[in-house]
């Protein structure tokens, strides 16, 4: 019996192959010539992506800017207390290997930034509150 390690789609398997007829070639038949036993060897768990912390709610009367899609906060372009105009870039969200500019929809002041650079967010997560 020979043992082999085979990796298929990132999953490692230990395979045992039984040799028939002492390893000599045999005439092909309709029955199987080798038997295998597969044992899945668990792959180390991938490093978890840092999730965004639980978010506080925006204050009453504040306009909120939410993540349009899941991704990672690549860069925050504004600071709390900064005046912004409609169309100004607030945050750059990296999703699917693309940098997406998240812009202010109206003029206002950045009241609170609810995320930090490098965190993962889901679609609909609160990013920035404007007043």
Range of the domain at 99: 63-130
Q: Which residues pair with 5 in a beta bridge?
A: 14
Residue 131 burial (CB count, 10 A): 12
Residues 70, 13: one domain?
no
Give pTM, 2 decimals.
0.55
- 8, pLDDT greater than 90: no
Region 46-63: what's the mean pLDDT?
Answer: 61
- The per-residue pLDDT for 115 is 93
**Number of domains composing the chain:** 2
* In-domain check, residue 13: yes
- 90, pLDDT greater than 80: yes
Residues 27, 72: one domain?
no
- The per-residue pLDDT for 97 is 86
Residue 10: left (phi > 0), alpha (psi -120 to 50), or beta? left
Residues 90, 122: one domain?
yes
Residues 126, 68: one domain?
yes
Q: How far apart are CA 31 and CA 12, in angstroms?
A: 27
C-alpha closest to that of 94 among 71, 77, 117, 125 = 71
Residues 71, 22: one domain?
no
Q: How far apart are CA 122 and CA 76, in angstroms?
A: 17
pLDDT in tens, 21-42: 765 555 555 555 555 555 666 6
Region 8-25: what's the mean pLDDT?
Answer: 74
- The per-residue pLDDT for 22 is 62
**CATH assignment at residue 85:** 2.40.50.100
* In-domain check, residue 58: no
C-alpha closest to that of 119 among 67, 65, 84 = 67
């Amino acid at each position: 019996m020979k043992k082999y390690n085979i990796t298929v789609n990132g999953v490692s398997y230990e395979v045992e192959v039984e040799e028939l007829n002492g390893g000599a070639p045999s005439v092909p038949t309709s029955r199987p010539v080798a038997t295998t036993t597969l044992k899945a060897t668990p792959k180390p768990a991938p490093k978890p992506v840092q999730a965004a912390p639980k978010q506080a709610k925006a204050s009453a009367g504040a306009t909120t800017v939410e993540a349009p899609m899941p991704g990672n906060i690549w860069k925050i372009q504004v600071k709390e207390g900064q005046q912004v105009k409609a169309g100004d870039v607030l945050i750059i969200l990296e999703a699917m290997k693309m940098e997406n500019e998240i812009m202010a929809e109206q003029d206002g002041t950045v009241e609170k930034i609810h995320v930090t650079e490098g965190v993962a967010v889901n679609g609909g997560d609160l990013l920035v509150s404007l007043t």
